[in-house]
Amino acid sequence: MVSRVIPVKAFDLVLFGATGDLAQRKIWPGLFHRFVAGQFDEHSRILGVSRSDLDQAAFRKKVAKSIEDPKADKDLIEKFLEHVDYISIDATGERGWDALAQAVRPDTVRAFYLSVAPRFFGPIARRLEKFGIATPDSRIVVEKPFGHDLESAKTLNEELRACFQEHQIYRIDHYLGKETVQNLMALRFANSLFEPLWNSSQIDHVQITVAESLSVEGRGEYYDQSGAMRDMVQNHLMQLLCLTAMEPPSKFTPNAVRNEKLKVIEALEPVPPSDIARGQYRAFGEQGSYRDHSGNPDSTTESFIAMKVEVANWRWAGTPFYLRTGKCLRQRLSEIAVFFRNPPHMIFPGAETPQGNVLVIRLQPDEGMTLHTTIKDPGPGGMRLTEASLDMTFADSLKGSEQPQDAYERLIMDVIRGDQTLFMRGDEVESAWAWADPIIAGWTERKTKPQQYDVGSAGPEDALLLMHKDGRRWRSIGA
Ligand code: NAP
C-alpha cells in the first residue's frame, strides 16, 4: 500500500497554552510527526503563546523536550524548531498582543488553537478581534470541556460567535480524530454489506464502552466538578453513538455529516433513573478511593456510569444503546459492539441456538474490527458449532502504508485544510447538553449517591443488573 501524505498550504498556527500539559503531550509531538511526514509547507510557522516569560531558545528547548522521540533524527528536530517561535501574552491583559499582530503574515492560512482553560476562550477571541489579528478566513480551535451545562455552553458559543463565524470555529472532540472512528463511517457508508442490516430488525442492541484503568489521582479536584457524565458521556460517548446511529449523509461534507449527528441527539429519549447505574471506586490496597483522590470525603460525583439510551426514530425504535464508561476499571478499553439478532430458527439437531453475530469496532487498544461468527467445529464428530472471529487489527492489515496518526495530528491538519467534518458544531454541543442536563439535575434533586465498586473490577453491581433486567450481558472488560 502506498503512503499518501497530502501537503497542506503554508500556515501560521498560533498555539495558546503552548507550555501546557496538552500541548506538551499531544500537540507538539503531533505537529512534529506531521512535519516529519512531509505535510508542512516550508513557509509554515507555529507561534507558541503562553504567560511565561521565555526567550526563543528556552521555549524551543521545552518544545524539543516534549517531542521526546528517541528515534527522531536530531537534525529533523532542529529543522522543525526553525518553524517555531514564542510570544509571551497575557490572555486577559493587553501585553503581547501587538507583537502577535506584527508576527502573523497576510496570505497565509491563520489558525488559533486555544489549548487553555475555557474561561480564556472569550477574552482571547475578543483580543484577536480587537488587535486586528482575526481575519474573516482565520480559524479558531477550542478544547474540551465545551461548557459545564447548556447555559455555560451557550455562553461560550455566544462569546466565540461575537468575533468568529460558525464556519471558523473548530470545537475539538479528539475521539472524532481517531482512525477507527472514521473507519466506522467508512465501514457503514463505503460498503454495501452492513447498511441493509444496520437497523432494529437486524440489530438487537449496541454496547459502547470506554473503560479506563487509571484513577483520577492528580486531577481529582477538577474531575469532581464534572464526573463521568460530563467528562465522557456528553461528548465522547455521544459522538460514538451519533456515528453509529446516524442516517447516511447525502455527501461527506461538514454540515451534511453534522446535520445527521444532530438528528440523532435530538431523537434521544429522556433516560429514566432506573436505566442508569452510577458508581464510585473505593480504596483498594495502596490505591486510595475516589473520595481520597478528589479531596472531597462527601463527594457524590460518579467515576463510573452505565446507561440504557433509546434513539426514538424509525431505524432504531426497539434497539437500545447501552453506554458505559468509568475510571479504575479492569482494563483500558474502548469499543463499539453491535449485537445482531439471533438466527430465528435452528436447523442443526442437538446444537444450541448460536449467538447472533457481534461486530466489535475497537478504538483502543489495538485499533481494529472483529466480526464474531458461528462456524462448524472442525473435524469429525458431527455438526458441532463453535465461535470463530474474523479479526482485523489495523496495524497488521495496513502494514506498509502510513501508520494511523494520533487523533490530534489528524485534527490539526483538518483545521489547516479548513475541513470541519470531524469537529462539533455549536448546535450539536448545545443539544447534547440539553439531553444531559435533566439527567444530572435529577441526581441532585433526588440526592442519589453512586454505588461503590472495586478498583480493577468491571464497575458496580447496578451496572450488571441494568443489563440482566433486559436479559442481556455486558461484554467483558479484560480477562
Ligand atoms: P495546563 O497544563 O494548565 O496549561 C495551561 C496553559 O495555559 C499554559 O500554557 C499556561 O501558560 C497558559 N495560560 C494560563 N493562564 C494564561 C493567561 N492568563 N494568559 C496566557 N496563557 C495562559 O492545561 P492543559 O492540561 O494543557 O489544558 C489546556 C486545555 O485543554 C484545557 O481547556 C483542558 O480542559 C483541555 N484538555 C486538556 C487535556 C489534557 O490531557 N491535559 C485533555 C483534553 C482537554 P503558562 O504555563 O505560561 O502559565
Q: What is the pLDDT of residues 5-57, one digit of tens each?
A: 888 999 999 999 999 999 999 999 999 999 999 998 999 999 999 999 999 99
Backbone φ and ψ of 159, nearest 5°: -65, -40
Protein residue closest via CA to atom 23 of ligand 1: 20
Query: What are φ and ψ of residue 364, in 5° steps?
Result: -165, 150
Strands 11-16 and 45-50: parallel
pLDDT at residue 366 in the model: 81
- Could you tell me if 363 and 372 are in contact, meaning their C-beta atoms sit under 8 angstroms apart? no
When pLDDT is averaged across residues 312-335 and rounded to a whole number, the result is: 97
Angle (CA) 295-301-305 rounded to 5° is 135
The yes-or-no verdict on residue 263 having pLDDT over 70 is yes
For residue range 192-203, list pLDDT tens digits in order. Answer: 999 999 999 999
CA-to-CA separations, 419 to 7, 160, 170, 252, 415, in angstroms, rounded = 14, 18, 9, 11, 6
Q: Which of 236, 293, 345, 468 is catalytic?
A: 236
Percent of the chain with pLDDT over 70: 96
Strands 333-340 and 321-326: unpaired
312: helix, strand or coil: coil
40 C-alpha to center of ligand 1: Å?
A: 25
CA pair distance 96, 94, nearest whole angstrom: 7
Task: Please tell me what DSSP assigns to residue 91.
Answer: T
- CATH number 3.90.870.10 is the correct assignment for the domain at 11-143: no
d(C-alpha 147, C-alpha 157), whole Å: 9
pLDDT at position 402 is: 59
> Which DSSP category does 71 fall into?
T
What is the position in ligand 1's atom list of the atom closest to the CA of 117?
A: 32
State mean pLDDT over 350-374. 85
CA of 120 to the centre of ligand 1 (A): 10
Model pLDDT for residues 134-193, shown as the tens digit of each residue: 999 999 999 999 999 999 999 999 999 999 999 999 999 999 998 888 889 999 999 999
Residue 202 DSSP class: T
Examine residue 145 and say whether the peptide bond preceding it is cis (omega within 30 degrees of 0): yes
Q: State which amino acid sits at residue 343.
A: P
**Average pLDDT of the residues in 311-316:** 98
**Domain spans in the chain, listed from the N-terminal domain onward:** 11-143, 176-399+445-468
What are the start-end ranges of the H helices in 285-350? 290-294
- Entry pTM: 0.94
Q: Which residues are annotated as a binding site?
A: 51, 144, 174, 178, 212, 231, 327
In this structure, the number of other CB atoms found within 10 A of the CB of residue 35 comes to: 19
Q: What is the pLDDT of residue 380?
A: 84
Longest dimension (CA), the chain: 82
CA dihedral 399, 212, 429, 413 (to 10 degrees): -30
Among 386-390, 398-402, 439-443, the least confident range: 398-402
65-91 pLDDT tens trace: 999 777 778 889 999 999 999 999 999
Tell me, in angstroms, the distance from the centre of ligand 1 to residue 11's CA: 23
Q: 210: how many CB neighbours lie within 10 A of its CB?
A: 23
Distances in Å between the Cα of 397 and the Cα atoms of 198, 261, 401 are 25, 30, 9
pLDDT of residue 399: 65
Indicate whether 411 pLDDT > 90: yes
Asked whether the predicted pLDDT for residue 2 surpasses 60, the reply is no
* Cα separation, 387 vs 146, whole angstroms: 43
**Active site annotation includes 236:** yes
User: What is the spatial distance between Cα 30 and Cα 36, in angstroms, rounded to a whole number?
Assistant: 10
List, in sequence order, every beta strand (DSSP E) within 382-438.
385-393
User: Is the shortest distance between the CB of 123 and ligand 1 below 6 Å?
Assistant: no
Cell of residue 36, nine digits: 516529519
Pocket residue to mutate for ligand 1, from 24, 54, 59, 116, most atoms within 8 A of Cβ: 116
Summary mean pLDDT of the chain: 93
- Residue 326 CA to residue 3 CA, distance in Å, equals 37
Q: How far is the CA of 20 from the centre of ligand 1 (A)?
A: 5
Nearest CA to ligand 1 atom 11: 50
CA pseudo-torsion sign 409, 410, 411, 417: positive
CA distance 192 to 433: 34
CB 474 within 8 A of CB 324: yes
Distance between CA atoms of 331 and 357, rounded to whole angstroms?
Answer: 24
Kindly provide the residue ranges of all beta strands, DSSP E only, lying in 282-357, ordered along the sequence: 304-309, 321-326, 333-340
Q: Is the pLDDT of residue 1 over 50?
A: no
Q: Which of 21, 47, 230 to mutate to test the pocket of ligand 1 (most atoms within 8 A of CB)?
A: 21
CA distance 413 to 419: 9
User: What is the spatial distance between Cα 217 and Cα 9, in angstroms, rounded to a whole number?
Assistant: 41
Regarding the beta carbon of 397 and ligand 1, being less than 6 Å apart is answered: no
From the CB of 52, is ligand 1 less than 6 Å away? yes
**Of the options 1.10.10.10, 3.30.360.10, 1.10.8.60, 3.50.30.10, the CATH number for the domain spanning 176-399+445-468:** 3.30.360.10
The answer to whether 298 and 469 have CB atoms below 8 angstroms apart is no
Could you tell me which of 90, 180, 241, 189 has the C-alpha nearest to residue 369? 180
